[in-house]
Amino acid sequence: MLQSLRSFRFASALPQRYLGRHCTGRQWRSAFPDATKADIRQFLLGFVTAFGFLDDEKLKFGPGDPLRQIYRDLYPSRCMPDGLEFETLAADLRTKHGIALGDLLSDTLTLGELFGHVQRSRA
């Protein structure tokens, strides 16, 4: 139910900087030539699900996008309650990959860096 509410809340709330972006698939493949398209899409699907974006918006986000910036774009005011995006993402990463997001999270952690950790956890 909570996930449904989050998806409804953000269904049309993709932050402005990402609205006009074209597919970032080439950026991902260039940054991670050994990763399969399926691996990249699965990772991004987990991210957009946690952040309440639509599934078909997953390739609007590139490997150089900082997670905290995406979050701040969603919640420009620190007074706004959030949708537990980081908590949801952390639970997903812990369950699927044994990764503790809290140990990695910083103001500069990018989606690509996080994906690199996911890839290494599979090796």
Compute and round to an integer the Cα radius of gyration of the chain: 14
- Regarding pTM above 0.75, the answer is yes
Amino acid 3: pLDDT: 53
Q: Which two tokens stand for residue 60?
A: 């609007």
Q: DSSP secondary-structure letter at 66?
A: B
**Amino acid residing at 36:** T
Do 108 and 71 meet the contact criterion of CB atoms below 8 Å apart?
A: no
pLDDT at 5: 47
pLDDT tens for the chain, residues 1 to 123: 445 444 444 455 899 999 999 999 999 999 999 999 999 999 999 999 999 999 999 999 999 999 999 999 999 888 877 899 999 999 999 999 999 999 999 999 999 999 999 999 987
Q: What is the pLDDT of residue 77?
A: 83
Structural domain including 106 reads: 2-12+20-122
Give the chain's count of helices (H) and strands (E).
8, 0
- The number of distinct structural domains making up the chain is 1
